[in-house]
Amino acid sequence: MVVGAGAVAQVTVCKLARRPDLFPEIVVASRTFSKCKALAEKYPQARIIPEPLDADNVSETVALLKKHKPALLINLALPYQDLPLMDACLEAGVDYLDTASYEPPELPLYEYKYQWAYHERYEKAGITAVLGIGFDPGVTNAFVAYAARHLFDEIHYLDIVDCNAGDHGRPFATNFNLEVNLREITQVGRYYQDGKLVEVPALSVSRDVRFPEIGVRKAYLIFHEELESLVKHFPTIRRARFWMTFSDNYLMHLRAFMNAGLTSIQPVDYEGCKVVPIKFLQKLLPDPASLAPNYKGWVSIGVQLYGIKDGKPRTAYLYTNIRHEWAYQDCGSQAIAYTAGVPPAIAAELITSGEWKKPGVWNVEQLPPEPLLERLPAAGLPWKVVVDYPLDFTDIPE
């Protein structure tokens, strides 16, 4: 059962619908029923059952789970729905996965503590939850786990680098849910250094990063949730940072929105109505899924690592490069939704086949990375690993 019918869900459903041998029946449940119905009509060869659902309502979800008895719930709604959906899965005894960590609506704090608190209860109930299985988080976690198993004795430095060099022809748009995306980018920048979280003002630290096929782009330090789980599960990592590129045009618009208060999550009173500025902005700007037909260019996402192997220093770069046009050709989507939507479909296969079935609540790096990474190229996400890549680790103090 897929919850949500937005940009990312459309890709996951596209992939699940091609495997009737594994997924003979797919329930698509979301707030706007017409979007669920549209997906059922788009893939007539699959048995897709559309259902309306308010995923904030636990008993409504439990009733739907009891009605259809799915093997797994794939949460592709928004981070605010993570906890109610995890509660519903616990009550109905259904495995769970998502692509973004829970976030309280009133506080853009990306912390796994809320979801990690479910571990014992899931373990006791004999059900599996896999957290953050999109691309970043998701495949990036699997890249680090793969590198820790096969390439390094110890990893010391981690930079996750994410570049969308595509052009959609619109003056300004976000590539996934605007509210979630801008909350993430406009919060204070944070990274891990020697076990501590260091804070810097939002978008105040940048560096040039060279991306395969793309060239050098300016990337900005932002906080991303996988840093928290990766430094916990690989305690030799001394510093972990996340870098994302933004064009000057994107930042010019973003700063204007920020200065005007349009990215605020605090409600304002407008002629007697409570209006949340960022939700209003979302209404005005393009739906990320609508960008797909005209989107062109490369996306590159990867992890850059520095550590020790056999007593010698080593670097490695594991990355995926794909073009927006390829994503459109395969699933009618743009590449950001595609990179986020393909991994949950593979994870669904791994959980239902038993390869990733393990009672408890897990981040991706705690599960074997090979079955996921082996399946990525055939699913549309090729990846490469380059050892001793000439990475810019000049700011490393050793």
Among 8, 144, 163, 230, binds ligand NDP (CB under 6 A): 8
3-class DSSP state for residue 357? coil
> For strand 360-363 and strand 128-131, is the pairing parallel, antiparallel, or unpaired?
parallel
Tell me: does residue 180 bind ligand NDP (CB under 6 A): yes
Tell me: does residue 100 bind ligand NDP (CB under 6 A): yes
Of residues 41-60, those binding ligand NDP (CB under 6 A): 53-56
Of residues 136-175, those binding ligand NDP (CB under 6 A): 136-138
For CA atoms 392, 301, 176, 227, the dihedral sign is negative
Residue 82 CB, nearest approach to ligand NDP (Å): 8
Tell me: does residue 30 bind ligand NDP (CB under 6 A): yes
Tell me: does residue 79 bind ligand NDP (CB under 6 A): yes
Tell me: does residue 135 bind ligand NDP (CB under 6 A): yes
- Quick note: the x/- pattern for ligand NDP over 363-382, rule CB under 6 A, is --------------------
Continuous segment of H or E residues that includes residue 313: strand 312-323
Secondary structure in 3-state letters for 153-193: CEEEEEEEEEEECCECCCCCCCCCCHHHHHHHHHCCEEEEE
- Angle (nearest 5°) at CA 93 between 89 and 98: 35
Burial status of residue 38 (CB atoms within 10 A of its CB: 0-12, 13-18, 19 or more): middle
Nearest to ligand NDP of 57, 204 (CB atom): 57
Tell me: does residue 31 bind ligand NDP (CB under 6 A): yes
- Quick note: the x/- pattern for ligand NDP over 323-342, rule CB under 6 A, is -----------------x--
Residues 19 and 30: their CA atoms lie apart, in Å, by: 22
Of residues 191-230, those binding ligand NDP (CB under 6 A): none
Confirm if 115 and 83 have CB atoms less than 8 A apart.
yes
Tell me: does residue 322 bind ligand NDP (CB under 6 A): no
Tokens at 158, concatenated: 């981690």
Residue 103 CB, nearest approach to ligand NDP (Å): 9
Binding site for ligand NDP (CB under 6 A): 4-9, 30-32, 35, 53-56, 76-79, 81, 99-100, 132, 134-138, 176-177, 180, 288, 340
